[in-house]
Amino acid sequence: MKVRNKILIYFSSTVIVLSALSLVIVFILFSAHREEEFQQQQFSKIKYTVGLAEEFGKISAEVSRLLDKQDIHDFYDEKMLIYDNKKKLVFSSIDSLDIIKSNAILNKLSVSNNWIETKEGGYDLIGVYIEHNDKGYYGISKAYDYFGYSKKDFLQKVLVGIFLAIVLIVLLVSFYLSNIIAKPISELTKKIENYDLHNEENQPLQLKTTTSELKNLSEKFNELLKRTNDAFRFQKHSIQHISHELKTPIAVLVSELEKIEQREDIEEIKSELRGQTKRAKSLGNIINVLLQISKIETNQEITKTPIRIDEIIFNCIVEINSLYPEFNFEVHFLPDNLNEHVLNIEANEPLIKQAFLNLMMNAVHYSDNQKGKIIFDCSFDELTIVISNSGKTLSKEEKKFLFSHFFRGKNAQNQQGFGLGLVLAKRIFAIHNTVIKYYSKGKSENIFEVKMK
């Protein structure tokens, strides 16, 4: 069942049932009040009649004539019987109405059982025992409460009208509210149905609603879509990632093997081959890095251990120098009296090494003077690592897409690559709750700043 229909049914049925119960209770209470009020009027007239009968002590016709003058006490279609303490009839009203249960009621009445009330047809029938001037009397009154029943009938019609009006209003309000509440949900459903997970240009779902729960649902769904899109993108570009990350170590290995080919000393060749064997094994570390990232994309935890980040970067410099011996990195530590404990961090060593290696290779490829600079800024007991190089910088528009898949700026026209190194680096830094940003000084210095946390 649709949410709109559920709201319509649940809300309207609840309000209608409660309204019906309330109106029924009002009607029942009024009916009980009418009966109680009319019986008290009957009782008052019995007392009045007993007083007249005792005072005049004459025939019933005379008393009836006097009673007929008391219009205020008259009832519509009434019969009254008065008995003395020996249950002998002393008064009977002149009405022709019969009281079928008079003997049964009279037999039940006594000093201890001084009130009996019942119905006879549509008439109210009461029997009472009262004392007047130290004398006991029994009175039976049967009368039709014309005014009370007319009020009751009128009230019934009013309550039915009110109930029908409430039903109509509740249905209209329920329909209106259900449409308002269900509209954002229906809108969200349609957007989800038309959402193409394979389209990387998709924008986050925008939902126009003031309902906090629906806003939260939309936000959580967008977060889920983002993670899903990231996973799809990673899967889509996994081959490019692998080829990109294996390219550098393979190039280093090939370069070293070419050098070995020129050597003639057998012992040197053996020594160099042992070194290249170690480098070849390092390819396994690269593959392990990609496997670690794959774990992250499937929400599996990665292992973090205490490491010295400066040692990791120095190892990267050694690897780069084996491939680009002419390139030189200047390394600086700030301040002079730095707290070395700041250089100790919790991280996944293969991943963090690969991220910095990508940044440093970026400096190598886009430097115009074979130089790069690395600054470890430990001021205020916070670690910021700055990697910079001299060369062409990115335009304002290009900076927006720097960390996007396959992005290559104008300064990369003569460089080989897939435009994936910085994407992978940013992903690794994000895993470590580390922020990376790019900025430039003038038109000749590229700077990457990494704030370690």
Segment 312-368, tens digit of pLDDT:
999 999 989 988 899 999 999 998 888 889 999 999 998 899 899 989 998 998 899
Confidence of residue 72 (pLDDT cuts 50, 70, 90): very low
Confidence of residue 376 (pLDDT cuts 50, 70, 90): very high
When the candidates are 1.10.10, 3.30.70, 3.30.450, 3.30.460, the CATH number that belongs to 3-151 is 3.30.450
When the candidates are 1.20.58.220, 3.40.50.620, 1.10.287.130, 3.40.50.300, the CATH number that belongs to 212-298 is 1.10.287.130
Query: Cβ of 114: how many Cβ atoms within 10 Å?
Result: 14
Q: How does DSSP classify residue 71?
A: G
Distance CA 57, CA 380 (A): 117
Give the pLDDT score at 169.
Answer: 93
> Which is it for the CA torsion 52, 56, 58, 63, positive or negative?
negative
Distance CA 85, CA 131 (A): 9
Tell me the pLDDT tens digit for each residue of 213-268. Answer: 777 877 887 888 777 777 676 666 665 656 655 666 677 777 777 878 777 778 87
Give the pLDDT score at 381.
Answer: 79
Query: For the whole prediction, is pTM greater than 0.75?
Result: no
Distance CA 178, CA 194 (A): 24
Give strand ranges (E) for 145-244: none
Domain 305-452 = CATH 3.40.50.720:
no
Distance CA 452, CA 435 (A): 7
Q: Spell out the domain ranges in the chain.
A: 3-151, 212-298, 305-452
Collapsed DSSP state (helix, strand, coil) of residue 70: coil
Percent helix / strand / coil, the chain, rounded to 5: 60, 20, 25
What is the dihedral angle through the alpha carbons of 31, 32, 35, 36, rounded to the nearest 10 degrees?
A: -150
User: Would you say residue 50 has pLDDT above 70?
Assistant: yes
User: Would you say residue 74 has pLDDT above 90?
Assistant: no
User: Would you say residue 76 has pLDDT above 70?
Assistant: no
User: Would you say residue 27 has pLDDT above 70?
Assistant: yes
Give the pLDDT score at 270.
Answer: 78
